[in-house]
Amino acid sequence: MTQDDLPKPSSGERVASEESPGVVRDESDLTYNRILVPIDFSEHSRRTVSYAMRTAKRNNATIYLLHVFQIPDYVIAPYANRSQNSAELQSQVDVAEQDARENLESFALELSKSGIKVQPHFRVGYPFDEIVLMAKHFDVDLIIIGSHGRGGISRLLVGSTAERVVEHASCPVLVIKGRSPRERLE
């Protein structure tokens, strides 16, 4: 599997939607043939993929399974006092990328064994940008995305990927909420 040949997002450029997301014009708009499912391999991703599988089966749809490998900015920034050299950092990034590719293939194989048509895609970049680009490139009918993943404190600083996708996607977006704190305790 190679990096998909899609247009590169412009740094700082906002992606504008072509129409209001989630507007259902007629009954035929409720048929989903191409479903984009971004995953980050978190526990919540499994719930999201499970929901996408049920939706795909009902619609005989193809799932475009997407993982965006994001290299942290601090890894590629030139720090003079870092304790590791660039070869060591590159080796760590390569191992992490290979692990992500294998996890993506595992998810895709699981879907395929369940009778789902699936196309796995691996991208390197920023999740929000890559998700919106993929949705547009493949003219997907629906994006099914988890409400949260591995984000942590970065969500507070830059907003969640799901929120940004809902705002900018040109197709409907279904956000699968995580379990509430009460559900996690039970």
Tens-place pLDDT, residues 25-41: 555 567 899 999 999 99
Does some domain include residue 6?
Answer: no
Does some domain include residue 24?
Answer: no
Quote the CA–CA distance of 15 and 8 in Å, as a whole number.
Answer: 12
Beta carbons of 74 and 67 less than 8 angstroms apart? no
Cα 53 to its chain centre, rounded Å, is: 15
Does some domain include residue 106?
Answer: yes
Secondary structure E strands in the chain = 34-38, 62-69, 117-124, 142-146, 173-176
Does some domain include residue 4?
Answer: no
Q: Which of 6-10, 23-27, 112-116 has the lowest mean pLDDT?
A: 23-27
Does some domain include residue 114?
Answer: yes
Tell me the CATH number at 66: 3.40.50.620
pLDDT at position 71:
80
| Beta bridge mates, 68 | 123
Domain total for the chain?
Answer: 1
pLDDT at position 18:
44
Mean pLDDT of 6-10: 62
Mean pLDDT of 38-62: 93
**Exposure string for 126-156, b = 16+ CB within 10 A, e = fewer:** bbbbbbbbbbbebebbbbbbbebbebeeeee
Does some domain include residue 65?
Answer: yes
Each residue's pLDDT tens digit, 119-136 = 999 999 999 999 999 999
Q: Measure Cα distances from 159 to 29, 64, 91, 155 in Å.
A: 29, 24, 30, 5
**Phi/psi-derived region of residue 66, left when phi > 0, alpha when psi is between -120 and 50, beta in every other case:** beta
Q: Residue type at 8? A: K
Beta carbons of 48 and 65 less than 8 angstroms apart? no
Q: Which of 87-96, 157-166, 174-183 has the lowest mean pLDDT?
A: 174-183
Does some domain include residue 145?
Answer: yes
Does some domain include residue 14?
Answer: no
Q: Which of 63-67, 162-166, 172-176, 182-186 has the lowest mean pLDDT?
A: 182-186
Domain that holds residue 46: 30-76+85-185
Q: Which residues contact 102 (CB under 8 A, 6 or more apart)?
A: none
Q: What is the pTM of this model?
A: 0.75
